[in-house]
Structure 1
Amino acid sequence: MSELATNHPRLIIPSLGSIYAALGESAETILRVAAGLLLVTHGYGKILNPFGASGMVESLGFYPGVFWSPLLAATEFFGGILIAIGLFTRPAAFAAMIVLAVTVYFHGIVQAEGLMGAEKSILWTLIMFYFVIRGANSHSVDARLGRQF
């Protein structure tokens, strides 16, 4: 069958196909767990001082800061935990994606760093977008429960 008929690209080294097939889901799990845990570490300082970012969020136009700052902390810290374990993956990734999209605006526009300053935030936003669309795989609490959003 041709490449178009099967919708699978022909590999330059066909013997690697079984390796790719065997590790594909594991690689996705590693990305999800790593992204979640890194989000947890980023939110850890904020969860210890949930009102500490009040001034920063107000400078971005989110009033009142005493509401948005703890929400930011919870989204990063608890959302990261949920993403890492794969529980409520899509809603947690969606919330994180929104937070990270705001950081794109913050670094790219507010701090006038342009693309070079926003590139990490753009990458993180797209990683969260992937998990919003894809959800968690079979290596997740969502899969163990047999339900996903």
Structure 2
Amino acid sequence: MLPNTIRLETIWAPRVLSILRIMAALLLLQHGTQKLLDFPAAEFMPSFPSLFWFAGAIELVGGTLLALGLFTRPVAFTLSGQLAVAYFMAHAPRSFFPIENGGDAAVLYCFIFLLLAVAGGGSWSLDKLRQQGAGRTPAAAASQA
């Protein structure tokens, strides 16, 4: 393995993971703000306590936490599950193929969030700052998990 490859993996992979986390969270956050806050303008506002309203609440709170990188693993796992349920309830009955049933974004979000649940939030996250503040290195935190 080349020294440059090692540097790319150890330095840039956690940073790019953080960029992926932040961008996916901000994009998902728009779905929550649209459902609950009518921003950007929505076709309809779900009523409380509908399933659609709860999906918006999960997207709003989860998207915010994920953008900050706070409680990344459990939040990403929850969002991954929510997107899987959304796909199978709202999209899959229309067609087998995600491109035909409009569910390709839900599938992509689901797997991105599953990756984040396993890999963590990357180097630019509040979780990372909390680990450093507690005097734990990421390696020590991983060995305790």
TM-score scaled by length of structure 2 = 0.72
Q: Which residue is 2:15 aligned to? A: 26
Per-residue deviation at 1:68?
Answer: 2.8
Kept in 2, the 8 Å contact 1:75–1:92? The answer is: no
Which position in structure 2 is the counterpart of 1:53? 46
Q: Partner of 1:126 in structure 2?
A: 111
- Tell me if structure 2 keeps the 8 A contact 1:107–1:114: no
Root-mean-square deviation (CA, aligned residues, Å) is: 2.6
Q: TM-score when scaled to structure 1?
A: 0.70
Structure 1 residue 139 corresponds to structure 2 residue 120: no
CA contact (8 A) 1:103 1:121 kept: yes
Identity level (%): 30
Q: How far does residue 143 in structure 1 lie from its aligned partner after superposition?
A: 1.6
Larger CA Rg, structure 1 vs 2: 1
What are the ranges of 5 or more consecutive residues in structure 2 without an aligned counterpart?
Answer: 39-43, 135-140
- Pair 1:15–1:133, CA change in 2 (3 A): closer
2:121 match: secondary structure:
coil
2:53 and 2:36 map into 1 onto residues whose CA distance is 7
The 2-side partners of 1:145 and 1:125 are apart by 26
Spell out, residue by residue over 1:63-115, the C-alpha distance to the aligned partner (whole angstroms, 9 max, x if none): xx725333211111111010111101122112211221023212122x23623
User: How many pairs align?
Assistant: 125
Q: Is the 8 A contact 2:15 2:123 kept in 1?
A: no
CA contact (8 A) 2:66 2:76 kept: yes
